Chain A
Amino acid sequence: MARLLQSGGLIAVLALGMVMPGWLELFTIYEITIYLIMAVLALSLAFIWGKGGIMCLGQAAFFGLGAYAWAVAAINFGPGLPAIAIAIAVPALFAAVLGYFMFYGRINDIYIGVITLAVTLILFNLINSTSGPQYRIGSALLGGFNGMTSVPTLTWPGGTPLGPADIFRLTVAVLVTSIVAISLYLKTTPGKVVIAVRENEYRAELLGYHVARSKLVTFTLGGALAGLGGCLFANWGAFVSPTIFSLVQSAQIIIWVIVGGRGTLVGPILGCIALQWATTKLGTQQVVQVNLVLGVVLAFFVLVVPQGIQPMITKALRPLFRRETKPATKERLT
């Protein structure tokens, strides 16, 4: 029952996503698209951290690298599929190299959090300092703190660029496909090892699983997904700037996951969309600073609702499925 509801829900979301742009105004499409792009980013951290137990505080690094890789590749090789491949490969490779040093060095969670965050902040400084004309990759100027403007948008095979409604549909498709792919992956043996490592690393290792390799794969896949999100982001705004790597950007991703619910996939997406909507609304008034509110929300959730919102909703809805106890417990386990 619950599973049927889930798949039904996903198909409904997908269908809705495909027809929705026809009903909406252009501005609304833009606004919802950015929420959904960030939801892809939230999902990537939900996978790495919630499912894999790897506390990556610098998920923005992969997102930003994806966006920059798209921008550079699209300017040099044209905005087609090869550029998308590059936009996924660069952050994935970066995650793999970084992950190798972290997981094969057997460093613990706190260190991973700090190192990933430090990497993000240093990428911020690095990109920020590339404002001279000598900083170019091929024919793409990096632009320093001004960012890269007029980034080409993905084109159909024929050569016409995708419109806002198409980007919207693409984002919905990416999001739904990623949720399905991650759920299916977690049902395979390597996916179950991911959960086992999260639950008890030592035990998983004693059972003969290669913990470092499993973590490395999780981290790389999550980095690739975040990179894809970044690629969509660069397509959405035709613009990338170093603020994509900023401390506040990194913090927001963590806040979405914490508020939505660590350990779930859908919770962080809901948290992401709700908080982004709230942040946009807050941004239009001048009295209270957005960072102040975000910070208080984060501290509040850590102190008072550490499990996040989604588990609360699930708990509240459980009586509706009382007769179907089996799917309910099963859902809790996966």
Chain B
Amino acid sequence: MDFASILIIEILGSIAILVLISIGLAVVFGMMKVINMAHGEFLMLGGYVTIYGTNHGGLSFWVSSLILAPIVVGLIGLLLEWLVIRHLYGRMIDTMLATWGISLALIGGMTMLVGNTTTGISTPLPSVSIGEFSVSGYVMFLIALAIMVFALLYVLFKLTTFGLLARATTQNADMVAALGGNPRRIYALTFGLGAALAGLGGAALAPLTGVIPTIGASYIAKAFITVISGGFAVIAGNLSAATLFGTVGQVFTYLYTPVIGEVALLLTAIVLIRLLPKGITGRFFRRSI
């Protein structure tokens, strides 16, 4: 019984990690139909902001990861959107390639600034014991954080004017413009929001993995798979795909090794995409956000 609850917490934890690494990408993809190849590097930047904020800036881990990292990375996202991406809307493939350019440039730039060694930060919470087993308290925090992110996005998209405009822009940008909205600004803000969420995700995961300029590559495959398998609906898609892949990945990790878990995750995704080409929410939960 104790063991079962530990396993469930571990599965929930791996779902939460998937959510945190992919939700920023899901927002940009679902709302703007843009795949942001620099997403992994936004995660990396979030990690660095947290580490420097905590180890050198004298801030507490919670302030630098939950507040500073999303703000800094969100601003970087806005800047890059203004510099590069806004020129490419409507050219979906070119946005993808240009963001890949940004991704490489960020890897190169960060390597010049901080070198290519892993920088770490200690895990802030003690472990929690259930019966004779124990589980990292930080995993519990990640689960709570993922739930909070979903709640926040739900409120943002369903209850605010920005959310209404963003959803309307997704459906018909020209109509929003005709009715006096500003799709350009909504796109910019959405991209900034995606970057901020990536910053938060990267910050939250920094204590688990440490950060190195090339760490984006280890997140990006899983994030992409989760997002495209989820489909365009941001919250429902991300939640359903993360639940499926988190469970598959964790179960195979438990039975074999983390790498086998990753391969199982990929194979599930390829079969899923063959069955549901528009992602899970292209078929189910179609009316949700």
Which residues from B are CB-within-8-Å of A246? 217
With contacts A117-B221, A302-B94 known, is A106 near B101, CB below 8 A?
no
Residues on the B chain within 8 Å of A298, using CB: 97-98, 100-101, 104
Knowing A104-B274, A110-B35, A125-B262, the reply to whether A303 touches B84 (Cβ < 8 A) is: yes
A137 vs B191: C-alpha distance in the bound complex, in angstroms?
Answer: 46
Do residues B84 and A125 form an inter-chain contact, with CB atoms below 8 A?
A: no
Chain B residue contacts of A118, Cβ below 8 A: 220-222, 224-225, 266, 269
Q: Which residues of A contact B257 (CB under 8 A)?
A: 129
Chain B proximity of A93: nearest CB distance (Å): 15
CA distance A184 to B9 in the complex (A): 59
> 8 Å CB contacts to B: which residues of A94-109?
98, 101-102, 104-107, 109
A55 and B98 alpha carbons, distance in the complex (Å):
14
Residue A288, interface by CB 8 Å: yes
Interface of B is mostly: helix
Q: How far is the CA of A306 from the CA of B261 in the complex (A)?
A: 39
Contact bitstring A31-48, B, C-beta under 8 A = 1, else 0:
000000000000000000
A254 touching B100 in the complex, CB below 8 Å, given contacts A113-B35, A291-B107: yes
Binary interface encoding of chain A residues 242-286 relative to chain B, with 1 for a CB under 8 A from any of its CBs, else 0: 000011100100100010000000000000000000000000000
| Nearest CB in chain A: distance from B115 CB, A | 11
Q: A258-B97, A303-B84 are in contact. Are A107 and B273 (CB under 8 A)?
A: yes
What mask results when residues 82 to 115 of chain B are scored 1 for a CB within 8 Å of chain A, else 0? 0010011000111011101111111111011000
Per-residue CB contact flags for chain B residues 208-223 toward chain A (1 = under 8 Å, else 0) read: 0000001011101110
B259 contacts A by Cβ under 8 Å: yes
User: Does A290 reach chain B (CB closer than 8 Å)?
Assistant: yes
Contact residues in A for B277 (Cβ distance below 8 Å): 105-107, 111
Are B92 and A302 neighbours in the complex by a CB distance under 8 Å? no
Of the residues B96, B103, B218, B274, contact of A125 by C-beta under 8 Å: B218
In the complex with contacts A98-B270, A115-B270, A119-B266, A247-B102 CB distance below 8 A? no
B262 touches A289 (CB 8 A): no
**Interface membership of B271, Cβ < 8 A:** yes
Contacts of A300 in B (CB 8 A): 101
Number of interface residues of B (CB under 8 A): 45
Contact B273 A101, beta carbon cutoff 8 Å? yes
Q: Is A87 an interface residue (CB 8 A)?
A: no
| CB of B175 closer than 8 Å to a CB of A | no
Judged by a CB distance under 8 angstroms, whether A299 is at the interface is: yes
CB distance from A271 to the nearest CB of B (A): 14
Q: A291 vs B228: C-alpha distance in the bound complex, in angstroms?
A: 27
| Residues in chain A near residue B269, CB distance under 8 A | 115, 118
Given A122-B221, A126-B259, A302-B98, verify A115-B103 contact (CB < 8 Å): no
Distance of A91 from chain B, by nearest CB (Å): 17
Query: Closest residue of chain A to B217, judged by CB?
Result: A247
* Contact A289 B101, beta carbon cutoff 8 Å: no
Which residues in window 63-114 of A have CB below 8 A to B?
A: 98, 101-102, 104-107, 109-111, 113-114
Nearest B residue to A300 by beta-carbon distance? B101
A228 within 8 A of B: no
Does A121 count as interface, using CB distance less than 8 angstroms? yes
Complex contact A114–B35 (CB within 8 A):
yes
Q: Which A residues touch B263, using CB under 8 A? A: 122, 126
For A289, the chain B residues whose CB sits under 8 A away are 108-109, 111-112
Tell me, rounded to whole Å, the shortest Cβ–Cβ distance linking A110 to chain B. 6
> A106 CA to B278 CA in the complex, in Å?
9
Chain A residues lying within 8 Å of B96, measured Cβ to Cβ, are 110, 113
Q: Are B220 and A293 closer than 8 Å at their CB atoms? A: no
Q: Is the CB of A294 within 8 A of B104?
A: yes
List, in ascending order, chain B residues with CB within 8 A of A55's CB.
Answer: 93
Q: Please indicate the chain A residues that have their CB under 8 angstroms from the CB of B87 in the complex.
A: 303
B104, B259, B262, B273: which contacts A292 (Cβ < 8 A)?
Answer: B104
Flag if B266 contacts A292 (CB, 8 Å).
Answer: no
Residue A9 CB within 8 A of the other chain: no
- List 7 additional contacts besides A292-B109, A298-B104, A302-B94; criterion CB under 8 Å: A105-B277, A118-B220, A118-B222, A118-B224, A129-B259, A289-B108, A303-B87
3 nearest A-B residue pairs (beta carbon):
A292-B108, A295-B105, A295-B104
